[in-house]
Amino acid sequence: MTHKQTVSRRRTPLMAAGLALALGLAAVPLSVQAQEFQSIQRQSLDRIVAVVNQGAIMASELEERVAQTRSQLTAQQIDLPPERVLREQLLEQMILEEIQLQMAREAGLSIDDTELNRQVRAIAESNGMSLEQFADALEADGLALATVREEIRRELVLRELQQRRVGSRVNLSDREVERFMEQEGASRQQAQQALFQRRANEELEVWLQEIRSQAFVDNRLDGR
């Protein structure tokens, strides 16, 4: 599973273009109260689209992910797959993420605020922004920094889990490294890095299939 942390033009990384901005206000106009009531009504009509072990994925979460993906693919001028295919692919991705997040919780994996702050600042700087400019760019996209911080925290937890579970599976022989050096004209360090990444990606796919097959999943998309 690859997780993007770069920005296309002024878009922020790990951005959920469709994430809702939750505002807790002490006093709001009646029109806003009416909108919130409608939102509560919609939530009450929400339904489960997948049960994953002891967890569940809601239709509203899937719709949010679909909106994010549509926005990102459109911005990158990439053709969208058929709607049904898109939903099925994204739900499967969310199922895999939920399985991994459950495993991370069971293993006690977490990202503390110090590490999270460092990562957020690094992402901002990699896009030529200060933290304040980064927050402003998020706000311009209708996103809250706090919301995006939690998205980044989740991505970091997934990465940590994958490194722990998959990294130990990767073994490179000297012959493999030397062959790559001869074929690609690379240094030993370059060869080791390239081969490790390739092998890690292969092992990650195998591991994801393993944990998917071992999990209890009830896919209820489209009433199935």
Q: What is the pLDDT of residues 191-217, one digit of tens each?
A: 999 999 999 999 999 999 999 999 999
Q: What is the pLDDT of residues 50-61, one digit of tens each?
A: 999 999 999 999
**Model-level pTM?**
0.75
Q: How many CB atoms lie within 10 A of CB 106?
A: 8
Decide: 127 and 9 in contact? Cβ < 8 Å: no
Find the length of the chain. Answer: 224
Confidence of residue 37 (pLDDT cuts 50, 70, 90): very low
User: What pairs with residue 51 in β-bridges?
Assistant: 56, 218
Burial of 148 (0-12, 13-18, 19+ CB in 10 A): buried
Per cent of the chain over pLDDT 90 is 70
